[in-house]
A and B are shown apart, each in its own frame.
Chain A
Amino acid sequence: MEICNSYSSSSVDSTKHSASESSVNLSLSLTFPSTSPQRATKQDWPPIKPRLRDTLKVRRRLLQRDYDTCLFVKVYMEGVPIGRKLDLSTFSGYESLLESLSQMFNTSIICGNHRDRKHHVLTYQDTDGDWMMVGDIPWEMFLETVRRLKITKPEGC
């Protein structure tokens, strides 16, 4: 179990983990607008003791690991026989995912809600096996449930 240096004023974790964890850490400084970002990373709020803090960190890391094992997904574009593999944990949200996919497949891709005839639409298969529009649910929830991605042609959907 990693023992976090309680009195370090420089960072929350003294070792760097995956990008998804550092995006989680970023949210710390955004949660408390009335305090400076430095204060948030000092781990002095909320007022819980170090042993509980460590216990919850371990739990958090285990949960994160569960997310991590699901984060490599295959992406296919309709009409293209060869798919790609993508690590979703490297993206901070839908925007960066779409941008990256658009570059990767050299076409413009959008989320489901802005459908029109010109653009490809991104869909995903969830843990139940159903195909859904990407973008309907919060990003974190999407990461939990996504199994594979499909970029559909403009006309079909």
Chain B
Amino acid sequence: MNKALKFPMNYFPEEVIEHIFDFIASHRDRNSISLVSKSWHKIERYSRHQVFIGNCYAISPERLIRRFPCLRSLTLKGKPHFADFNLVPHEWGGFLHPWIDALSKARVGLEELRLKRMVVSDESLELLSRSFVSFKSLVLVSCDGFTTDGLASIAANCRNLRELDLQENEIDDHRGQWLNCFPDSCTTLVSLNFACLKGEINLSALERLVARSTNLKSLKVNRAVPLDGLTRLMSCAPQLVDLGVGCYENEAEPESFASLMAAIKKCTLLRSLSGFSEVASVCLTAFYPICENLTSLNLSYAAEIQGNHLIEFVQFCKRLQLLWILDSIGDKGLEVVASSCKELQELRVFPSDPHDEEDNNTAVTEVGLVAISAGCPKLHSILYFCKQMTNEALITVAKNCPNFIRFRLCILEPNKPDHITSQSLDEGFGAIVQSCKGLRRLSVSGLLTDKVFLYIGMYAEQLEMLSIAFAGDTDKGMLYVLNGCKKLRKLEIRDSPFGNAALLADVGKYETMRSLWMSSCEVTLGGCKRLARNAPWLNVEIINENENENGRMERNEEDEREKVDRLYLYRTVVGTRKDAPPCVTIL
């Protein structure tokens, strides 16, 4: 038979195949098609414009550029997730500079850069701003190491900048004039978010920038922008879709307040609202005119707004799809959300009193969670901090919401059992994984035995990320997960009694995963060394903050039975990294 009939696609001209590949955006699909044949691999390489690197140490910048020379958009992630909770030393790693350096030298036409938990320096930002003529979009999430001087370079040199989005970064604020550095000719901004900056800004520079950025859709300001300033900004940008509010004086003048409300009324396209830290309740009421249009509401920093005001506002937000809020809304508030927000897809409830220092009962309980599960049929993602939970509630939630993709429950007190039956919460979480067949991300808490992990291993077939804290009894728990969850990519464990037996049982498993984190568990130095020996394709890192700065682990009489404080291992194709600080030992 004619080969062209049997394998038609191989005989298409390259441009046609490339055009077909253009429709395939997902990284995983692109990775798959690159494995089909040599020619497909080559076509895919040159047509790949977006690359996602979940662990910046899994590959080197040089190899990345060699494989994808036409790269335009790069996403890089550095420190492991638990770095968000102070478990990773600041100097651990994840430096941006080598990447910018290599991309610049290779003259890659970089247009977009998204970074998460990376260490970024002003020098890197300066180099970035000068190296890529078409650079359009910079998104930095949970990064640190830079100052507003670095932002000034970006503002000054990136002629085509459309997006500057700074989320939750630790930025040294030099209170300089970085906003002034946007040239008058810069009119292309679509998104500007500097909510995490702690210092003062030049208000008139900001106003002029906003006025000339006619395409601006998203603006999130920091606490330095007062009520009058916000009014002026909104007046010259009624086309805003996404707004992050700064800080208001507690008692706004009636005229100022009226002006603000008038400006808000004109923003008929506004769909997303956030900010409100250090803002009094009355200021939330200024947004009543547009609250019916809101699809996204983030009040997780609005610590000053009392529960009853939150409830009053939220009940009118009938189109909400995303709600992030503090637990001061209470179970009653969540019942209101359940009856008002029928379009809700993602809910996050954060603790307003994380260390249980206040003597109040307004935190949320299992009652609120059940109400939400019953009232919101489209809910697929939840992060819920609470003081207590029951198996019965979790079983009900599982029945009500079989469509969960992400389920993260954090009971504030470690090891807390079902507060009615005093039993472990194994059955409750077991119901969740059994019912939610598409579950991709799970965080467990409360009193849990090995049994919950048996359930997870048995039922959580699509699970990609699992977070475990203060749970389990023996190595069996961890083994159930490693053996059962075929799609597991990230496993992070803290303060749980899993040791060497679990760690070493199936070393090949870690090649199918991005990373494993274990802190305050039972693994020993000896176990980690054995793992490193048997798996040369892994970087096995021991983090020990208590080491003196004179050197790495200087114990000649190393006690192999000594427990490892923090273990972080990940697959890599480029071997041991060279930039590890003294507190990190790579075995």
Contacts and interface: CB of A to CB of B under 8 A. Distances in A.
Contact of B84 (A3, A9, A49): A49
Interface stretch (B97-105, B336-344, B409-417): B409-417
Interface stretch (A27-35, A76-84, A87-95, A97-105): A27-35
Given A7-B89, A32-B413, A44-B86, A56 B354 contact: yes
Nearest to A63: B358
B170 interface: yes
Contact of A47 (B301, B303, B410): B410
B301 to A, nearest CB: 5
Contacts of A85: none
A144 B196 CA distance: 33
B278 interface: yes
Contacts of A43: 85-86
B413 A6 contact: no
Nearest to B467: A47
Contact of A42 (B86, B278, B301, B303): B86
A74 interface: no
Contacts of A138: 359
B356 interface: yes
Contacts of B303: 55-56, 58-59
Interface residues of B, number: 39
B72 to A, nearest CB: 30
Contacts of A45: 85, 414, 469
B414 A35 contact: yes
Contacts of B90: 6-7
Contacts of B89: 7
B545 interface: yes
A154 interface: no
Contacts of B95: none
Contacts of A60: 357
B292 interface: no
Contact of A52 (B300, B353, B356): B300
B351 interface: yes
Contacts of B352: 56, 59
- Select the residue from B277, B301, B355, B357 with max chain A CB neighbours within 10 A: B355
B413 A31 contact: yes
Contacts of A42: 86
B196 A141 contact: no
A56 B469 CA distance: 23
Given A3-B198, A31-B355, A35-B414, A55 B85 contact: no
Given A35-B414, A51-B196, A55-B301, A46 B470 contact: no
A128 interface: no
Interface string B131-170: 0000000000010000000000000000000000000101
Contacts of A58: 278, 303
A82 B17 CA distance: 96
A35 B90 CA distance: 23
A91 B379 CA distance: 48
B85 A47 contact: yes
A47 B470 CA distance: 13
A45 B445 CA distance: 12
B415 A34 contact: yes
- Select the residue from B352, B354, B545 with max chain A CB neighbours within 10 A: B354
Given A27-B355, A59-B303, A141-B359, A47 B84 contact: yes
Contacts of B545: 9
B350 interface: yes
B356 to A, nearest CB: 6
B10 to A, nearest CB: 50
16 contacts: A1-B198, A27-B356, A32-B413, A34-B470, A35-B470, A45-B469, A47-B469, A48-B350, A49-B85, A49-B168, A50-B170, A55-B301, A58-B278, A59-B304, A59-B352, A140-B359
Q: Give 9 nearest A-B pairs by CB, closest first.
A: A59-B303, A44-B86, A47-B85, A44-B85, A7-B90, A55-B301, A49-B84, A46-B354, A51-B168
Interface of A: 1, 3, 6-7, 9, 24, 27-28, 31-32, 34-35, 39, 42-53, 55-56, 58-60, 63, 138, 140-141
Interface of B: 82, 84-87, 89-90, 142, 168, 170, 196, 198, 277-278, 300-301, 303-304, 350-359, 385, 410, 412-415, 469-470, 495, 520, 545
